[in-house]
Amino acid sequence: MSLSTSASILLASSISKELKTIAEKVFQNQRITFEEGVLLYEHGELGYLGTLANYVREKKNGNFVYFNRNFHIEPTNICVFDCKFCSYSRLLKQKEGTWEMSEDEILEKVKSYNGKPITEVHIVGGVHPKMGLMYFANLIKQIKDIRPDIHVKAFTAVELEYMCRKAKVSYEEGLRILKDHGQDSLPGGGAEIFDEVIRKQICEDKCTADEWLKIHETAHLLGMPSNATILYGHVESFEHRIDHMNRLRLLQDKTNGFNTFIPLKFRNKENQMSHIPEVSVIEDLRNYAISRIFLDNFGHIKAYWPMIGRNTAQLSLSFGVDDIDGTIDDSTKIYTMAGAEEQNPALSTQELVELIKQAKRIPIERDTLYNVITDYSKVDSSN
């Protein structure tokens, strides 16, 4: 036996032992380390990762899969920032492919859902230099006047940082104003990858990782929960993914304010990073699984079905995912313009329920904060 062969056998044996140790820690509900998270990416096979992730998701959420009835409002795709991965936004000086909804158009869209059991409106878009803090605060107030019961989840940390900076107020002051006008929570967008070197390559001019985390921490302390995301599958390394999740895990230890974690797959259509190939479905599933294993203090892992498609969303339910977002109602362009699997993202409640049941899971309609609205194991979804 050659020296190199012996070394390879010893290395494989060592890795196998480390993977066994990680599994034992997971089954004993012990936190894995940064180094162990990286090891999962480097050497964890799909079946092994799925087994561990499914154990964690079922311990936390049983056989349930959550969804909600929601729609999106994207006021504009005009943006002051120039993110290299973005297929959605346009600079102010550009004319082709831009849109800017008027206040009346936005309110009419909200009114179009009157009488429908929608529980959430999700408001995000480009960072428009003329749409400031008080514009959006007053808009939210008018939305709540139309639908007092609806949960307003609005504005990424990128949008909020710009709003507060332009208004010359602190994050706390800005978020208090929005909360007083009716905003309930924050989405998780704009996180991308926290590593400063990678961020400089892909989104240099937008808010920093520290600013993103500080805005979410401030929101949590004001009683405004939020989500968190990661943009994976571009120029980042496995270490960068774990570093990103570790920063979120540390903040969640501190505030317990995150509702869910949403891995977002880089799509390479019509953007400045189109030369970078997209990762495989297998890598998508590995990423969901490792997210579920590493983020032990997050209640939920969400697969955004319009981004990855219905079939992959179903598969993800065996790899740590317990939430597949909502009905959407063809009301978002952010990911379809980047080449997402679903080009007309709309599913009826019945379609979502059937999709979940086909995966041998129990569909649960939830509100934004994961309160149960309907347990579909107890009702006939065909009615």
Q: What is the pLDDT of residues 98-117, one digit of tens each?
A: 778 999 999 999 999 999 88
Domain coverage including residue 168: 57-375
* C-alpha to C-alpha distances, 12 to 8, 17, 247, 357, nearest whole angstrom: 6, 9, 30, 40
Assign residue 289 the CATH number of its domain: 3.20.20.70
36 belongs to a structural domain: no
Q: How many domains, the chain?
A: 1
Cα–Cα dist 88/73, whole Å? 14
184 belongs to a structural domain: yes
Mean model confidence pLDDT for the chain: 89
367 belongs to a structural domain: yes
| Residue 353, C-beta contacts closer than 8 angstroms, at least 6 positions apart | 363, 376, 381
29 belongs to a structural domain: no
318 belongs to a structural domain: yes
Reduce the secondary structure of 89-142 to three states and give it as a string: CECCCCCCCCCECCHHHHHHHHHCCCCCCCCEEEECCCCCCCCCHHHHHHHHHH
10 belongs to a structural domain: no
Query: Which residues of the chain form beta strands (DSSP E)?
Result: 64-68, 70-73, 120-123, 151-154, 226-232, 258-265, 300-301, 323-326, 362-366, 372-375
359 belongs to a structural domain: yes
Q: What is the pLDDT of residues 178-213, one digit of tens each?
A: 999 999 999 999 999 999 999 999 998 899 999 999
38 belongs to a structural domain: no
- Predicted TM-score (pTM) of this structure: 0.90
Mean pLDDT of 27-36: 97
| Residue 369, C-beta contacts closer than 8 angstroms, at least 6 positions apart | 151, 185, 225, 259
